[in-house]
Amino acid sequence: MSDVSDVPDAPKVEPPVVTPVRVVIALCLIAPFVAMLWVGSYAKTDPAFIGIPFFYWYQMLWVLVSTALTVTAYQLWQRDQRARASQGGGAAK
Taking the domains of the chain in order of start, what are their residue ranges? 25-84
Please give the pLDDT value at position 84.
84
Please give the pLDDT value at position 67.
97
Q: At what angle do helices 20-37 and 54-88 cross, to 10 degrees?
A: 160
Please give the pLDDT value at position 83.
87
Low-confidence ranges of the chain (pLDDT < 70): 1-8, 10, 89-93
CA distances to 5, 69, 79 from 9, rounded to whole Å, are 9, 40, 29
This prediction's pTM: 0.73
